[in-house]
A and B are shown apart, each in its own frame.
Chain A
Amino acid sequence: MLQAEGLTRRYGRFTAVRDVGFGARAGEVVGLLGQNGAGKTTVMNMLAGCLAPTSGAVRVCGADMETAPGDAKRHLGYLPERPPVYPEMTVREYLRFCCRLKGVLKADIKAHVEEIIGLTGLDEVGNRLVGQLSRGFAQRTGMAQALCGDPEVLLLDEPTAGFDPLQAAAFRKLIRRLSKNKVILFSTHLLPEVQAVCDRVLILHAGQLRLDHSLAAESAAAQRFRLAVAAPGTRVLSPLRALPSVRRVREDGSGAKETRVTVETSPGGNFQGELFTLLTGLGAPILELTPLSDSLEALFMRVTGSPAQEAP
């Protein structure tokens, strides 16, 4: 649905983006991560057809951005870093204008605008001037603009900037809802956001794509847990090791009343279910069960070569 091939952008002698290539299918939510100046916005602009690549190609739903820009852009919704809103228009007027730009049929515009307003939670400000909106609502209006014409590919550059926690939660919900039949690519600095909604993460560093990592695959892979149980090790350890989903158990410290271990599980197993059944049978309450995995932050630090922060 969205295909970038060897995207390179030079400004004179400076190369902002070098040989970036990836593809995304319908239903995928892809997070684009990178430090400031890594080239995220340049990549976004090239994908949206706002900036011509020095070399490389962009295809949206099979249409080439260079040879058939009109067709490619018809399938595309783009929210730039700063929402492209006109302060003198009301939210409804603005969205009607965006629908006309996207070629939505005149008869469908009204219903389509109301649907988008409902989706993005703009009902209460629909008739207010965009220039009078708070930053969060202006950002939501920008998001609504990207949805005009029901595009198959959504490109969102820092979409949660200016959102309060409630708006950010609503945004995550919206992304999950929209992602069923669309490609959503969004850039952000907020790693938890990527972890919460993305199936895949692309990490850009110094204009190059350094990592194309599937978060969905990661969650299906073997996992480790830190487990604390209110029972002595002699009672718990043997049955725990015998569970079908458990691959390895390492003792971190056991006492007369408490057992602390790190458990490594097999991929695809139902560790939590088995553990619950076991410990209920043993009458041993769980004090702690924490999944341990390479955090996205650690991955990001490793890929970008930044020094990892020490744990508090």
Chain B
Amino acid sequence: MRAVYLKELKSYFYTATGWVFTGVFLALASLVFYLNNLLPQSSDIAPFFSMLSYVWMLLTPILVMRLLAGEKRMMTRPLLLSSPLSPLSYLLGKYFAACTVLLLAVLLSLAYPALLSRYAPVYLPEVFTAYLGFILQGCAFIALDLAVTAPLKSTMSAAAAAFGVNLFVWLVSLLSASASVPRAVGEAVNFLSLYGRFVPFLSAQLSFSGVLFYLLFCVCMLALAAGAEYGGRMRRT
């Protein structure tokens, strides 16, 4: 797993992918910071993260699109399949590499609360829980996108499919809040929503159920990705 992890991590920054992801993330984060904190002169970090959480929908497909589909496109998959590495550890190596790039970009965004704290008091527990929830949400989107892109062979179709599913997840969580949707359905969707689960983290609550949900979600999606990626070739018929 470590070999694949290190290779993928380097590949992100040897190619444009890692730089584009980090650059676009910081550009969007700067815009959101300007709109939510600088312009209204507010030190409340919650609206910043609330709005920023939608960037995962756009950005995680950039990280994920080449992870599995790229191997098929470049025909490098036999190298991994014929290595002693188990399919799951190979997949985990790729997943953790994408999560590390996400984490690096998020760490750079610590500059915003740091800047804010110079001019106004910042409630640190809120910053901590918001960052925790934000990172977990990003990692969950990566796992979801990995599962979606696992059967695909083209990086462009992988990016389009991942973005489509992310958009669907957002629309469903948006519709669940609509008055025309039955309350029970709305609550059920909110319970399973990657956006709904993020809300408690914004109000300085260390939501253990939220952490557990995101972790379980990642495990399920990675299992699906492993099944889709290896099922076809390893099935006996």
Contacts and interface: CB of A to CB of B under 8 A. Distances in A.
Interface of A: 10, 12, 45, 48-55, 69-71, 73-74, 76, 78, 80, 82, 84-89, 93, 97-98, 100-103, 145
Interface string B3-14: 110110011001
B86 A70 contact: yes
A84 B75 contact: yes
Contacts of A45: 78
A45 to B, nearest CB: 7
Interface residues of B, number: 27
B3 A101 contact: yes
Contacts of A78: 78-79, 82
Among A69, A85, A101: residue with most chain B CB under 10 A: A101
A86 B74 contact: yes
B9 to A, nearest CB: 12
A89 B85 contact: no
Given A52-B233, A55-B236, A84-B79, A103 B11 contact: no
9 contacts: A55-B236, A78-B79, A86-B7, A86-B76, A88-B11, A97-B6, A101-B80, A102-B83, A103-B84
A82 B75 contact: yes
A52 to B, nearest CB: 5
B84 A98 contact: no
Given A84-B77, A88-B15, A53 B236 contact: yes
Given A86-B74, A97-B7, A101-B3, A54 B83 contact: no
A77 to B, nearest CB: 8
Contacts of A93: 10
Nearest to A85: B76
Contacts of A145: 79
Given A48-B82, A84-B77, A87-B74, 9 more contacts: A10-B237, A52-B236, A73-B83, A78-B82, A80-B78, A82-B75, A84-B76, A86-B76, A101-B85
Interface string B78-102: 1111111110000000000000000
Contacts, number: 79
A88 B78 CA distance: 18
B234 interface: yes
Contacts of A100: 2-3, 6
A2 to B, nearest CB: 14
Contacts of B86: 69-70
Interface of B: 2-4, 6-7, 10-11, 14-15, 74-86, 233-237
A101 B81 contact: no
A114 to B, nearest CB: 19
A93 B14 CA distance: 12
Given A10-B237, A55-B236, A49 B81 contact: yes
A71 B86 CA distance: 11
Contacts of B15: 88
A3 B6 CA distance: 35
Nearest to A51: B233
Contacts of A76: 82
A87 B73 CA distance: 12
A88 to B, nearest CB: 4
Nearest to B70: A86
A86 B78 contact: no
B124 to A, nearest CB: 40
Among B75, B79, B86: residue with most chain A CB under 10 A: B79
Contacts of A10: 237
A76 B86 CA distance: 15
A74 B84 contact: yes
A-B pairs with lowest CB-CB distance, top 8: A100-B3, A84-B79, A84-B76, A78-B82, A50-B81, A101-B83, A88-B14, A48-B82
B79 A89 contact: no
Contacts of B78: 45, 48, 50, 78, 80, 84
A12 B236 CA distance: 10
B74 to A, nearest CB: 7
Among B6, B10, B234, B236: residue with most chain A CB under 10 A: B236
Contacts of B2: 100
Contact of B237 (A54, A70, A82, A86): A54
Contacts of B80: 101
Nearest to B81: A50
A10 B237 CA distance: 6
Contact of A73 (B76, B77, B84, B237): B84
A12 B4 CA distance: 33
A50 B81 CA distance: 5
A80 B2 CA distance: 24
Contacts of A55: 236
Given A85-B76, A86-B74, A50 B236 contact: no
